[in-house]
């Protein structure tokens, strides 16, 4: 693409990835609406914008690594601005489908509360490198004192780097999925060298030395010193390696509170895309729950957690691909409320079945406002009322937007 110098440009808005957008459109990372900028334009992007006139919403990034690290995208923006922007992303997504809803105050997770992250690691000629990539690059940046990750993870970074010379090659890159559990760190490493007897001995010794709860390789458990349990309500669950987990404990608590309110007094609840039981097991303190999930290993963990927890109502499980085989209206007729927490693609087919089945209440959780709004349109066209939406920001300083919402069927009074 050609490279050109350009006169001063004014940023008019932020895109969904958090980049500033000037007329053209021209994209400039880490800029804010109202700012005047200059820089060399390559194609439709200014890679290194110079801020001529800063926005009043610009602040000093709290992390000294922000200029180089690609882990965060919005540390240069004041918290109230980021909260308002994320709220507006949801409003705009709904408005595109002719919808609106009361917006509850955003719930933002505090700094240093991310309890899971995937780190990139590389073995060097001299030493190792473990951290996050720089923006749009394969370069890795060390992240001591990261403002996002839980201290349990950042304090363990030097120890975790000891796996790199053992498992890594100088040509390849390792991915370390690290999760904080009640029993210590749960680590799944992908991209390592093939195992042989000597490597098995080395990994066993290193896992014991670092006192990890569990080490997995490419999603397969290698060694468990202690079950890496997670707490879902009163239940203790040991997820399979790499299983989905809400990013922060405060974020999970906010979503759970919203879901519990949205399902109301229902005595029988279906939890769709249930994972390991984030919602199903806490809800089982007050209602019977049928948990449906495509991953049989996650369901097995959920079931085991339920069986060893006294005092919970009945929880049944069903392994089912809800994209290919959504629960049909006849399946849904026995439930007074449904919780649905699909991946980013949303759940178009399943939502169509819900619209037809008309359960009294639907608690929707989404990590993509665009697909949420698309699915919400189907429900509202079928007579559902979108009672409220709450943004839950557990990916602080990122453009990622999550939300919870409450729908009620036409025959349910507010």
User: What single string gives the DSSP state of each residue in 358-393?
Assistant: --SEEEEEES-HHHHHHHHHHHHHTT-EEEEEEEEE
Any long-range contacts for 206-212 (C-beta under 8 Å, 24+ apart)? 206/162, 206/163, 206/166, 209/162, 210/156, 210/159, 210/160, 210/162, 210/185, 211/184, 212/184, 212/185, 212/186, 212/187
Q: Are strands 174-181 and 140-142 parallel, antiparallel or unpaired?
A: unpaired
d(CA 44, CA 7): 14
Helices (H) and strands (E) in the chain, counts: 11, 26
Q: 180: which strand partners?
A: 185
Q: Are strands 3-4 and 41-42 parallel, antiparallel or unpaired?
A: antiparallel
| 172 C-beta neighbours (distance < 10 Å), count | 13
- Selecting among 72, 146, 367, 380, the annotated active-site residue is 367
Active site residue 367: yes
Structure tokens belonging to residue 262: 């949205």
Catalytic residue list: 367
């Amino acid at each position: 693409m050609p490279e050109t110098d350009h006169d001063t440009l004014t940023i008019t808005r932020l895109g969904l990835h958090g980049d500033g957008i000037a007329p053209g459109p021209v994209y400039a990372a880490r800029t804010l609406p109202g700012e005047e900028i200059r820089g060399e334009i390559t194609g439709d992007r200014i890679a290194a914008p110079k801020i001529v006139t800063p926005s009043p919403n610009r602040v000093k990034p709290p992390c000294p690594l922000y200029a180089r690290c690609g882990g965060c995208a919005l540390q240069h923006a004041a918290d109230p601005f980021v909260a308002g922007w994320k709220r507006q992303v949801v409003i705009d997504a709904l408005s595109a489908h002719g919808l609106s809803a009361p917006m509850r105050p955003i719930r933002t997770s505090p700094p240093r509360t991310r309890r899971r992250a995937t780190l990139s690691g590389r073995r060097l000629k001299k030493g190792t490198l473990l951290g996050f990539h720089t923006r749009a690059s394969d370069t890795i940046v060390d992240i001591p004192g990261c403002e996002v990750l839980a201290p349990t993870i950042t304090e363990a970074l030097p120890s975790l780097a000891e796996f790199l010379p053992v498992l890594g090659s100088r040509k390849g890159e390792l991915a370390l999925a690290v999760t904080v559990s009640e029993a210590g760190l749960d680590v799944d490493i992908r991209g390592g060298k093939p195992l042989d007897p000597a490597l098995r001995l080395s990994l066993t010794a290193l896992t014991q030395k670092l006192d990890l709860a569990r080490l997995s390789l490419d999603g397969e458990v290698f060694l468990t010193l202690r079950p890496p349990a997670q707490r879902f309500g009163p239940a203790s669950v040991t997820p399979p390696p790499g299983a989905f987990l809400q990013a922060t404990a405060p974020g999970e608590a906010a979503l759970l509170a919203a879901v519990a309110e949205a399902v109301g007094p229902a005595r029988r609840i279906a939890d769709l895309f249930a994972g390991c039981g984030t919602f199903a097991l806490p809800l089982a303190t007050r209602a019977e729950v049928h948990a449906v999930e495509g991953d049989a290993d996650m369901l097995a963990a959920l079931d085991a957690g339920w069986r060893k927890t006294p005092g919970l109502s009945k929880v049944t499980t069903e392994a089912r691909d809800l994209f290919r085989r959504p629960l049909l209206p006849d399946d849904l007729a026995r439930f007074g409320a449904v919780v649905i927490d699909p991946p980013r693609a949303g759940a178009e087919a399943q939502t169509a079945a819900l619209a037809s089945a008309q359960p009294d209440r639907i608690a929707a959780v989404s990590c993509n406002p665009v697909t949420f709004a698309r699915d919400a349109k189907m429900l509202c066209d079928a007579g559902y009322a979108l009672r409220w939406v709450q943004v839950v920001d557990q990916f602080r300083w990122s453009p990622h937007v999550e939300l919870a919402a409450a729908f009620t069927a036409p025959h349910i009074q507010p």
